Chains A and B, each alone.
Chain A
Amino acid sequence: AEVEETFKRILAHKGVVGVIIVNFDGIPIRSSFADSSLTVQYCALIQQLAHKSRSAIRDLDPGNDLTFLRIRSKKNEIMVAPDKDYLLVVVQEPCDQP
């Protein structure tokens, strides 16, 4: 219920292309992408990357932890909000402000 609401609210923002909720095993729990192979690809690649970045931060300073990960590319931006058990991945396209 609230999950739905949150999901829809994020999707409604300007420029957002898709949202995926991934669990700690790399299984997509919910995805807004119609193409399931794309979802699986995102899950696999991003989960590994998030895990690696988290361990990098913690290696540098054991007291530190990863709060947010943003990957900006030429065409869009992938934002990853990590948690102990789940990952929220949002793909957004930058748009010119009116």
Chain B
Amino acid sequence: MEIQYVYTKKRAEFGRQCIFSDRPAELLVDIAPNPDALKEFVERDPVDRGVQVVQEMSEHDVNTERFETDSHGLNHAEGGWPKDVNAQEVEQVIRFRKKVEKDEMYISTVQTLGGQMEHCIKQNNAIDIYQDYFSDVEIQASEEPPSAKTINVFKDPYKDRGVAHISWYPDGPTKLAIAYCNTDFQRAPKDTSTESYVWDVINPNSPEMTLKPVSPLVCLEYNPKDAHILVGGCYNGQVAYWDCRKGSQPIETSEVSTGHRDPVWKVIWNQSKTGTECFSVSTDGQVLWWDIRKFAEPIEKLYLDATKKQDASQAQGAYVLEYEPTIPTKFMAGSEQGAIFSCNRKGKTDADKIVAVYPGHIGPVYALQRNPQFPKIFMSVGDWTTRIWSEDIKENAIMWTKYHQSGLTDGCWSTVRPAVFFTSKTDGTLDVWDLLFKQNDPTLTVQVSDEPLQSLRLQEHGRLMACGSQGGVATIVELSEGFYAQNRNERNLVNTIFERETRREKILEARHREMKLKEKKGGGGVS
């Protein structure tokens, strides 16, 4: 029911000064209680109500501004000596000591203290307090709930650049090489810096080393054999390599004419005797092999052509490469169109070089990696899902996640636990999936940043994950123990999961083929 009060004023009277006056209250509406409404309610008896007489408190946390810390050592000097004794003079020290020892109090004190002390020492010797009582009982699974904690944040000093690629230092989690680049097509402002940095984990305030390529780096990798060499792929298609000891300029850069014609999205080091071979892929559809000693020309070239004819015009551009050092001649590439190519470098004919093409995703494949413990199984990240494939089944993925709300940008397997993998999304979250725990949803979702996460990299030991966002901020997240503690049965369980899914796909494939044959036969019979 509306309660309105209407007042009217003559047009001629507008603009006149307001003259206020008091008047008694006027009843506008009187709504009497309606006893019939009471029938709709039932009296509640007894009434159970909790009351607490507690001080109301509120929790509030505040983040202070970042402060710079510096660490240095402290020097302990001998002190406390009375003024007449010079601590450096051995004789004076000895004399002082002798004087104290003659003191009667000293003798009695030391005796009582000695007695007390002996009691405790004997106690210590009687029972070993460090004895491990339950060492033979193995922990089946981690007791604590899964969690991840941000340890450190590295900010790009220049704006406008996203973290394009992260590579951990091969000899332990002390350094990170991060490639910064604005990957939006032609949207980078003219004077964007081309520098990329090597950061030391302990010092997030300033990078340890700067790398100055000709054009911004889109990907960067440490040589696993020689921790001082870094190879990077540039936005303009060149590939360059640096030696950390020799400074910020690249030691050598590939020629623009013989290299790629599009940004080099991924560069990986090859397993070779000399340790100087690497190969790169770009959206121009070529996979080029380089020897860093001779960057003028690639050693070998391969077109990612689905028709298996090595036709450059049919080649599909690729975003990611996958290479397992234990299988040196085979590699995989994920293309812009969504297909995944499995290739053999040593194929004799052109057709042999591209062994298989998997249907892949609806959109570009952003990440591709084999499971470190089960090399036949690999995962790919693209469009809004993550798919797990078995090398033998070429028609379809054996397992896949549901379609997410935001696009997936990068993913990788855990190096320690074969059932765990990670994905990063455009809403800034990092998902941790544990196939042994839950297969429909990620086990843990961490909101790492407000901006889309562009790249991620797990450190070899499996504990630290570096995520890079579009705003140029790289965050190091530490995972809870459950994600990197090895479990005895895990390998078997994960193996069973993958085998079951592979078998299911095989059966489905067989059924499809049967049905197709039947159709053909049926169609042939009719006509």
Which residues of A line the B interface, CB within 8 A? 2-3, 6-7, 9-10, 13-16, 21, 23, 25-27, 29-30, 37, 40-41, 44, 67-68, 70, 72, 77, 79, 81, 83-86, 88, 90, 92, 94-97
Is B125 within 8 A of A29, CB to CB? no
How far does the alpha carbon of A22 sit from the alpha carbon of B47 in the complex, in Å? Answer: 70
Task: Tell me which of B23-31, B114-122, B289-297 binds A.
Answer: B114-122
Asked if B46 is at the interface of the complex by the 8 Å CB criterion, the answer is no
Is A40 within 8 A of B117, CB to CB? no
Complex interface: chain B residues within 8 A of A85 (CB): 105, 109
Complex interface: chain A residues within 8 A of B110 (CB): 2-3, 6-7, 21, 86, 88
How far does the alpha carbon of A15 sit from the alpha carbon of B117 in the complex, in Å? Answer: 13
Within 8 Å by CB of B126, from A3, A7, A97, lies A97
Is A79 within 8 A of B120, CB to CB? yes
Complex interface: chain B residues within 8 A of A97 (CB): 125-128
Is B114 within 8 A of A88, CB to CB? yes
Complex interface: chain B residues within 8 A of A72 (CB): 129
Most buried by B among A23, A27, A37, A68: A27
Supply 16 A–B pairs (Cβ within 8 Å), ascending by A.
Answer: A3-B106, A3-B110, A3-B111, A13-B125, A15-B124, A25-B82, A27-B80, A29-B100, A44-B76, A68-B116, A68-B120, A79-B120, A85-B109, A92-B124, A94-B128, A97-B127
Is B78 within 8 A of A25, CB to CB? no
How far does the alpha carbon of A95 sit from the alpha carbon of B130 in the complex, in Å? Answer: 9
Is B78 within 8 A of A40, CB to CB? yes
A48 → B minimal CB distance (Å): 11
Asked if B256 is at the interface of the complex by the 8 Å CB criterion, the answer is no
Complex interface: chain B residues within 8 A of A88 (CB): 110, 113-114, 117
Is A13 within 8 A of B121, CB to CB? yes
Is A95 within 8 A of B125, CB to CB? yes
B311 → A minimal CB distance (Å): 66
Complex interface: chain B residues within 8 A of A7 (CB): 110, 114
Within 8 Å by CB of A25, from B76, B81, B120, B127, lies B81
B78 → A minimal CB distance (Å): 5
List 8 A-B pairs, minimum CB-CB distance, nearest first: A26-B80, A25-B80, A6-B114, A88-B113, A81-B113, A13-B121, A27-B80, A81-B116
Complex: chain A residue closest to B126, CB-CB:
A97
- Say whether, besides A25-B81, A68-B120, A2 and B109 are in contact (CB < 8 Å): no
B441 → A minimal CB distance (Å): 40
How far does the alpha carbon of A14 sit from the alpha carbon of B125 in the complex, in Å? Answer: 7
Within 8 Å by CB of A86, from B106, B124, B127, lies B106
Is A94 within 8 A of B129, CB to CB? yes
Complex interface: chain A residues within 8 A of B129 (CB): 72, 94
Dominant SS at the A interface? mixed
Asked if B101 is at the interface of the complex by the 8 Å CB criterion, the answer is yes
Given contacts A15-B121, A29-B97, A94-B128, 15 further A-B contacts (CB under 8 A): A7-B114, A15-B125, A25-B82, A26-B80, A37-B76, A77-B124, A83-B112, A85-B109, A86-B106, A88-B114, A90-B117, A90-B121, A94-B124, A94-B129, A97-B126
A72 → B minimal CB distance (Å): 7
C-beta contact mask, B146-167 vs A, less than 8 Å → 1, else 0? 0000000000000000000000
Complex interface: chain A residues within 8 A of B113 (CB): 81, 83, 86, 88
How far does the alpha carbon of A81 sit from the alpha carbon of B110 in the complex, in Å? Answer: 10
Most buried by A among B97, B105, B107, B117: B117
Which residues in chain B, 169-200, are within 8 Å of chain A measured between CB atoms?
none
How far does the alpha carbon of A68 sit from the alpha carbon of B110 in the complex, in Å? Answer: 14
Complex interface: chain B residues within 8 A of A30 (CB): 97, 101
How far does the alpha carbon of A56 sit from the alpha carbon of B159 in the complex, in Å? Answer: 52
Is B111 within 8 A of A2, CB to CB? yes
Complex interface: chain A residues within 8 A of B77 (CB): 40
Is A9 within 8 A of B76, CB to CB? no
- Say whether, besides A15-B125, A79-B120, A97-B125, A10 and B114 are in contact (CB < 8 Å): yes
Asked if B50 is at the interface of the complex by the 8 Å CB criterion, the answer is no
Asked if B79 is at the interface of the complex by the 8 Å CB criterion, the answer is yes
Complex interface: chain A residues within 8 A of B116 (CB): 67-68, 81
Is B122 within 8 A of A13, CB to CB? yes
Complex: chain A residue closest to B112, CB-CB:
A83
B135 → A minimal CB distance (Å): 13
How far does the alpha carbon of A2 sit from the alpha carbon of B78 in the complex, in Å? Answer: 28
Complex interface: chain A residues within 8 A of B78 (CB): 40
A71 → B minimal CB distance (Å): 12
Which residues in chain B, 38-59, are within 8 Å of chain A measured between CB atoms?
none
Is B109 within 8 A of A9, CB to CB? no
How far does the alpha carbon of A95 sit from the alpha carbon of B82 in the complex, in Å? Answer: 40
Complex interface: chain A residues within 8 A of B106 (CB): 3, 29, 86
Complex: chain B residue closest to A82, CB-CB:
B113
Complex interface: chain A residues within 8 A of B76 (CB): 37, 40-41, 44
C-beta contact mask, B65-82 vs A, less than 8 Å → 1, else 0? 000000000001111111
Is A96 within 8 A of B128, CB to CB? yes
How far does the alpha carbon of A23 sit from the alpha carbon of B111 in the complex, in Å? Answer: 15
B176 → A minimal CB distance (Å): 30
B448 → A minimal CB distance (Å): 34
Complex interface: chain A residues within 8 A of B101 (CB): 3, 29-30
Complex interface: chain B residues within 8 A of A26 (CB): 79-80
How far does the alpha carbon of A88 sit from the alpha carbon of B114 in the complex, in Å? Answer: 8
Is A94 within 8 A of B81, CB to CB? no
